[in-house]
Structure 1
Amino acid sequence: MKNCNFKTAKWCFATRRIDQNLAGGLCHDFSQTKPGDLILGRVTSIGNHRRIQLPEGRPSTLYPGDLVVLPCGARYAPDQFEGFAEIDEQCSDMLAGGGCIGRMVQRNERIKPPTRIQPLGRITSKDGTVLNTRDFALAKPITTSQIPVICVVGTSMNSGKTTATAALAHGLTKAGWQAAVLKGTGTGAFGDYNAYTDTGASYVADFTDAGMVTTYKEPLHRIVEGIDTLLSEAETRDCNIAVMELADGIFQQETAAILATPSARSRFSKYLFACSDAVAAAGGVAELERNGIRPIALTGMLSCSPMTVNEAQIATGVQVLTKGQLLDPAYANTLAARTLMGRSALAA
């Protein structure tokens, strides 16, 4: 494509750290595509994703013929798609509204097939270097941060993790903490990011700030490096506590690897566990305990029902906290105090 005006394309949310003025050309060799490479494409058909999430935090309706800029990436979302970071130059799949193009390998039968994109090229700078999200990441930390971290994990997508993360971050902020609210794993999207921003927390970031459009299929050391980068940046900005959400459920391969690896989970001081019912609570708590993790509290969808709360607390012996309680500065402050104690024990 000659004389392409890249600014006429719809750039996705996952490209928000990239200076669009650097786009100067296209590389048509897709055989060397790496996760994070920026792909210019043309929408050929509308499927599951009818809109693209823009860097400024609003959705834009997609039409056949639209030019879009999406990073190549994999995706793991049991409610939607599993896809790999592979580009078919004839036609590829839009795997996420926040920005991710690749090859779908399977999908939830309740949703439509993916929106299809014809790749036009990998975007390069004027000197021919392919632009990649990794090149625009925050600087890697020199030392490991000491900030206390409450890690929010759950049974699955839609178990209430993001709601709990945002509520606790707001409660901590109201209690006077300089809170950072972060997402350590997942696929780039503005939904969680915007929810975090609305809490009034001192610092908001996710793995895209560490250069990854998605953490699915990334090696564990790369993900942990990204988590360290976010925590270090939060500490640099004078935050004194962090709440970090890990995507999907505790059996998702990257989340499971983090929780099973002592050196990786050492970043976290305490855990909140979000789940939908008492059975999920009992099974999840037992699974976490296999890795030496005892949640500081249960939360999520089960907290909406007093009867389910009672069942879960009897089955697990772990307190259940509602969204309202997490929003309460007094409850949030109590969790923070327990977290600081846990961090001191880990340091010792």
Structure 2
Amino acid sequence: MDLSSNAFDGECREPIAPARLARIPKAYTTRFVAESINQDATGYHLLSGDSIKPQAGDVVIARVTEIGKHARLESPVSRRQLLFPGQEIMVAYGNRYAPDQFLAYVPESLEPCSLIAGGGIAGAVKEMHASIDAATSIEPIGLLADEQGVVNLSRFAPLSVDAPSVAAVNAVGSARPRVIAVLGTSMNSGKSTTLGCLVNGLTNAGLNVAAGKATGTGAGNDPNLFHDGGATRVVDFTDFGYPTTFLLDYETVRGLLSSMIQELSAAVDGTAPDVVVIEIADGVYQGETSRLLADPIYASLVDATIFAAADALGAVAGLDVLQRAKVNVAAVSGLVTASPLASAEAQSVLPVQLINTYDLCNAEVAQGIIDDLAVRA
């Protein structure tokens, strides 16, 4: 192995052969870096040593040491690649907040850590849900670097975050598209399915719909669902260079929301969308989500919110939180509607309409949400 070291900073550099780099399975989160490598895999090396301190978004080459919760790695095109012990993989460091899975952070060094999300996130697990398997263990070999330094996702991302600006969103056109946000009580409350069905219903109504995911953990499932629902354009936070949004500074989170809405509101090939639909991950008590809801910029950018709940009590309590934050809730939907009994409980006490998730695919139902906005305006 051809290694050179710097005795002053404890940094080791290992050239990585193009053939080796090309054959390493790459994660969805690293897809823009992977595109660059596919064009030219020369000029890369690995950085390791005691002085190396990873940052969120840094790309790392790691070796799988033990298979756990995530036995497959989502590829740049969302194929589920089976993992094998001893295999090298290319993933990105990130923090993760997932109540049903892991609470994890970017480690302080290139110490052994875990694959904390199938989309390709490396992190050190601090807590985990009692019902799941331990995370897949990985051993970082080194940070991927080139002549410009450490390869970070932000450098290869096609989009960038601007300062939060309602004016910039409004300047997209004299009649900007309606913006609807979907959020929920928690992880797995039915947010993404609700948004996908809403996109489908609006598309069935003859509307041009753009969709995005503003916060969460990088993976291709939700963007692909939005595409399948009929969205003419889809972006998420990974397109802006973030593997996850947990622990991003709040100004970046605000800027990400407004930049995403601005990007999705713009005309493509001369055609602007009629509606922009945005998913905001996790529950109303999650840090970044809670701050967004309390921020005046949310009400300025978002015309209506659909709230996905897992059960009747969550629907009522969550709606109360949103209404106290002066959020305009158009409807409640989500996992609660999978149960007729839970739906009946919720509808008997909710002051807003409860819409079955899959009823949102109906053109008249989806169009009715837009029509209600026009009446209120």
Same fold by TM-score, threshold 0.5 exceeded?
yes
**Stretch deviating more after TM superposition (128-137 or 158-167):** 128-137
Query: Could you tell me which residue of structure 2 aligns to residue 321 of structure 1?
Result: 355
**Stretch deviating more after TM superposition (308-317 or 147-156):** 308-317
2:275 paired residue among 233, 241, 246: 241
1:123 paired residue among 140, 144, 161: 144
Given residue 304 of structure 1, which amino acid in structure 2 is its aligned partner?
A
> CA, structure 1 residues 339+135, in 2 after alignment: closer, same or farther (shift >3 Å)?
farther
Query: Could you tell me which residue of structure 2 aligns to residue 62 of structure 1?
Result: 83
Q: Is the 8 A contact 2:67 2:84 kept in 1?
A: yes
- Kindly indicate whether residue 135 of structure 2 is the aligned counterpart of residue 101 of structure 1: no
Query: Could you tell me which residue of structure 1 aligns to residue 31 of structure 2?
Result: 16
Q: 1:265, CA displacement in angstroms?
A: 4.2
Query: Could you tell me which residue of structure 2 aligns to residue 135 of structure 1?
Result: 155
- Kindly indicate whether residue 195 of structure 2 is the aligned counterpart of residue 165 of structure 1: yes
Identity of aligned residues (%): 32
Q: Is the 8 A contact 2:144 2:151 kept in 1?
A: yes
Given residue 273 of structure 1, which amino acid in structure 2 is its aligned partner?
F
Q: Is the 8 A contact 1:149 1:339 kept in 2?
A: no
1:175 paired residue among 180, 205, 213: 205
Q: Is the 8 A contact 2:53 2:108 kept in 1?
A: no
Structure 1 Cα separation of the partners of residues 313 and 121 of structure 2? 34
1:31 paired residue among 31, 34, 52: 52
Query: Could you tell me which residue of structure 2 aligns to residue 227 of structure 1?
Result: 257
Alignment of 1:293-304 (within 5 A): 293-304=327-338
Structure 2 Cα separation of the partners of residues 101 and 313 of structure 1? 42
Structure 1 Cα separation of the partners of residues 209 and 347 of structure 2? 28
Say which SS state the counterpart of residue 282 (structure 2) adopts. coil
Q: 1:340, CA displacement in angstroms?
A: 4.8
1:144 paired residue among 157, 166, 169: 169
Q: Is the 8 A contact 1:207 1:227 kept in 2?
A: no
Q: Is the 8 A contact 2:29 2:238 kept in 1?
A: yes
Given residue 144 of structure 2, which amino acid in structure 1 is its aligned partner?
I
Say which SS state the counterpart of residue 149 (structure 2) adopts. coil
> CA, structure 1 residues 87+56, in 2 after alignment: closer, same or farther (shift >3 Å)?
farther
- Kindly indicate whether residue 207 of structure 2 is the aligned counterpart of residue 192 of structure 1: no
Q: Is the 8 A contact 1:25 1:123 kept in 2?
A: yes
Structure 2 Cα separation of the partners of residues 63 and 324 of structure 1? 38
Given residue 198 of structure 2, which amino acid in structure 1 is its aligned partner?
L
Q: 1:56, CA displacement in angstroms?
A: 1.0
Q: 1:89, CA displacement in angstroms?
A: 2.1
Q: Is the 8 A contact 1:73 1:86 kept in 2?
A: no
Structure 2 Cα separation of the partners of residues 240 and 113 of structure 1? 44
Number of residue pairs the alignment of both structures matches: 342
> CA, structure 1 residues 3+184, in 2 after alignment: closer, same or farther (shift >3 Å)?
closer
Query: Could you tell me which residue of structure 1 aligns to residue 11 of structure 2?
Result: none
- Kindly indicate whether residue 290 of structure 2 is the aligned counterpart of residue 256 of structure 1: yes
Query: Could you tell me which residue of structure 1 aligns to residue 9 of structure 2?
Result: none
Q: 1:324, CA displacement in angstroms?
A: 3.0
Structure 2 Cα separation of the partners of residues 140 and 305 of structure 1? 40
Say which SS state the counterpart of residue 69 (structure 1) adopts. strand
- Kindly indicate whether residue 300 of structure 2 is the aligned counterpart of residue 266 of structure 1: yes
1:158-183, CA deviations, whole angstroms, 9 ceiling, x for partnerless residues?
11111100000011111111101111
Say which SS state the counterpart of residue 245 (structure 1) adopts. strand
Q: 1:128, CA displacement in angstroms?
A: 4.3
Cα RMSD for the two superposed structures: 1.8
Structure 1 Cα separation of the partners of residues 149 and 16 of structure 2? 17
> CA, structure 1 residues 31+339, in 2 after alignment: closer, same or farther (shift >3 Å)?
farther
Q: Is the 8 A contact 1:40 1:67 kept in 2?
A: yes
Q: Is the 8 A contact 1:72 1:87 kept in 2?
A: no
1:291 paired residue among 319, 325, 329: 325
Question: In terms of Rg, which structure is larger?
Answer: 2
